[in-house]
A and B are shown apart, each in its own frame.
Chain A
Amino acid sequence: MFGKLKKFLTGLFGKKDQIKLGIYGPPNTGKTTLANRISKEFTGEELGSVSEVPHETREVKKKEKVSMQSDGKEISMNLLDMPGISTKVDYKEFVEHGIDEEEAKVRSKEATKGVVEAIKWLDKVDAVMVVFDSAEDPYTQVNVTILGNLEAKDIPIILVANKIDLDDSEPESIKDAFPQYNFAKISAKENENMGELYKKIIECV
């Protein structure tokens, strides 16, 4: 009842609900680079810091009111950059990147909390981009689990094969692994093929 009323009032005053678009995927696939690229393109501002050390993003970063136009259609959304989802977080991995042991343990705990937070957000997002590193095997427990869950929740999915600028990238293997979903191959870092992704986003949401 309240929902209907809200919808009616929203329609009456012409205020559009913001679509919540979540960026999901394992750590180090370039989610924040992608979020920054989109955010910079449509709002002029970046969203978060990028690092080669995994789990750089340990809490959900949000950019509100990102308006996107393509083929005469305009959407307005909240872009949500999620912490990387993994099945194991080990502080020793951070120590290998030169981080002090104590700090690495704190980072490890924060990263674990980040995974939980990202998963909790699955109930709130309207559409999801699942970001893959095109140079990595797409058939992982994390990817299969996330995709299966999104599908069960009936949330629109766009597979994003990122890092196509890498020599050993094989974006088609991602498409072959999960052919049933919307797909775009890009390099967020090198700004390659982003137009194709924007079209997919507008079509999808």
Chain B
Amino acid sequence: MPHKCLNCGKVLDEDSQELMEGCSNCGQKLFVFEEGEKIDDEKRGEIVKDVEELMESLEEEEEVKKRIREAMEFDLESIKVKEPGVYEINLRKLLEEVPLIVEMKEGEYYIYLPSAFSKDKKNIRIDDLV
């Protein structure tokens, strides 16, 4: 368990020579146990690396989402999302009951297949489907 100098608050490793010789910062020899794990430079480096990797993976995911969205928009035949809030609707395709694809939020698509629903389900609303 690491120690903390009672005078200046410097945190020392549990096997630090300073515990015997006095704090290198202020010279005091009174120390208290420091609860919790001390983050040394190596550990800090590891954490930073983890976070950076996580950030990279998120960026990659965004990139993938963007690519998927673009591809979907090209292939979408019932509803095209030109930009947020601007939609082009292909009525003919909608009426032909092709699978309906709607982008609900960025990178998230809902596909409605008419064949998947029996005629008995009379109360299906679009809100249930998309």
Distance, CA A120 to CA B94, complexed state (A): 9
Minimum distance in angstroms from A124 CB to a CB of chain B:
7
Q: Does chain A have a CB within 8 A of B36?
A: no
Q: Which residues of B contact A116 (CB under 8 A)?
A: 78-79, 89, 94, 100, 102, 126, 130
Specify which chain B residues have a CB less than 8 angstroms from the CB of A149 in the assembled complex: 95
**Cβ of A105 and Cβ of B85 under 8 Å apart?**
yes
Name the residue of chain B whose CB is nearest to the CB of A102. B85
Collect the chain A residues with CB atoms within 8 Å of residue B127's CB: 113
CB distance from A139 to the nearest CB of B (A): 15
**B89 with A88: CB separation less than 8 A:** yes
Given A89-B86, A108-B86: A122 touches B79 (CB 8 Å cut-off): no
Q: A91-B86, A105-B84 are in contact. Are A117 and B125 (CB under 8 A)?
A: yes
Considering the chains assembled together, what is the distance between the CA atoms of A107 and B26 in angstroms? 66
Q: Are B86 and A145 in contact (CB under 8 A)?
A: no
B interface size (C-beta, 8 A):
20
Q: Which residues of B contact A91 (CB under 8 A)?
A: 84-86
Pick the residue among B89, B92, B122, B125 that contacts A112 (CB under 8 A).
Answer: B89
Within the complex, the shortest CB–CB distance from A153 to chain B, in Å, comes to 10
Chain B positions near chain A (C-beta within 8 angstroms): 78-79, 84-92, 94-95, 100, 102, 122, 125-127, 130
- Chain A positions within 8 Å of B, measured between CB atoms, are 85-92, 104-105, 108-109, 112-113, 115-117, 119-120, 122, 124, 141-142, 145-146, 149
